[in-house]
Amino acid sequence: MKKFLASVLAAAAVVSSAFSLASCSSGEPGEKDLENVQSKGTIVVGMECAYAPYNWSQTTASEYTVEVKSGMYADGYDVQVAKKIAEELNVTLVIQPLDWDGLIPALNSNTIDLVIAGMSPTAERKLSIDFSDTYYDSNLVMVIRKDGAYTNATKISDFAGAKITGQLNTFHYSVIDQIAGVNKQTALADFAALTTALKSKAVDGYVCEKPGAVSAVTAYSEFTYIEFAEGDGFTCDPEESSIAVGLRKGSTLTASVNEAIGKISKAQREEMMQAAIARQPVSEN
């Protein structure tokens, strides 16, 4: 009888312990984000540092940059937004350079606290992370060569037969399917790969947001871009051409991030973007 009672009590203890653990782990992944950031006094932001004018790396420091490592500094529109969020939280900003495909996994594995990387809040991404209010709104354009065959294009249908690409795992690449008869090329990893492909004439053009196009044209004199009138361009959810901060599901940082973003007027955002475009490193090629 004693053995039976002991077994029952032991089983009950196991069930109680399991229930307790389940209760403790039932919250959202980001439920302690604000507490953790304030405790450590830093906020770690992930970005490519290779997607001008949103973000890039350079070897010189300035009032706009954040040191990434010895002799390497991050700048760009995203960096300036990240600074304002860090100021709102009264913590030190740390920039963590990551490949595009590694940003969301790094966020969900707690390697970084936020993604501020020119990332659009698409429906697919919302399945795995949360997003802040948008901090920049843009539109899709086509970057081409000035000496190419498509300089007179005015609508996406004019690119039938053209070799067109976009960045890997972005909606920029998926909307290419809206061009009837397009010769869709393999998606490329980043901004550098896109510009290299266009410089070498491996592609006739690539799709990106207007700030990225302005940045490319600033860096490469042989480039231009086509901006489409309403009804002649790509069809997409307005959110997909907007930019927002990525956060863990249920992150307690969301309110503070939105507070910081809300303090930046539309005019200030445009000024910050134009200033970032003017500061970006110019290609020597």
Q: What per-residue confidence (pLDDT) applies to 249? A: 98
Domains of the chain plus CATH, in order, are 33-137+242-279 (3.40.190.10), 140-239 (3.40.190.10)
The whole-angstrom separation of Cα 40 and Cα 155 is 51
Residue at token pair 């790969």 = 193
User: CA dihedral defined by 56, 129, 242, 115, rounded to 10 degrees?
Assistant: -20
User: 219-242 as b/e, with b when 16 or more CB fall inside 10 Å?
Assistant: bbeebbbbebeeeebbebeebbbb
Enumerate helices (H) and strands (E) in the chain, giving the number of each: 10, 14
Q: Cα separation of 124 and 100, whole Å?
A: 15
Residue 240's pLDDT is what? Answer: 81
CA 64 to chain centre: 19
pLDDT for residue 281: 85
Run of H or E residues at 114: strand 114-115
- pLDDT at res. 21: 41
Supply the pLDDT for residue 5: 41
DSSP 204-244: SEEEEEHHHHHHHHHH-TTEEEEEPPTTTS----GGGGEEE
Name residue 242's beta-bridge partners. 137
H/E stretch holding 79: helix 77-89
- 237, amino acid identity: D
What is the residue-level pLDDT of the chain in tens, covering all 285 positions? 434 344 444 444 444 444 444 444 458 999 999 999 999 999 999 999 999 999 999 999 999 999 998 899 999 999 999 999 999 999 999 999 999 999 999 999 999 999 999 999 999 999 999 999 999 998 999 999 999 999 999 999 999 999 999 999 899 999 999 999 999 999 999 989 999 999 999 999 999 999 999 999 999 999 999 999 999 999 988 888 899 999 999 999 999 999 999 999 999 999 999 999 999 987 544
Pick from 93, 97, 101: which is nearest to 66 by CA?
Answer: 93
pLDDT of residue 129: 98
Q: Find, among 205, 195, 247, 224, the residue nearest to 51 by Cα.
A: 195
Antiparallel, parallel or unpaired: β 114-115 and 163-165: unpaired
Q: Give me the pLDDT at residue 283, please.
A: 57
pLDDT of residue 200: 98
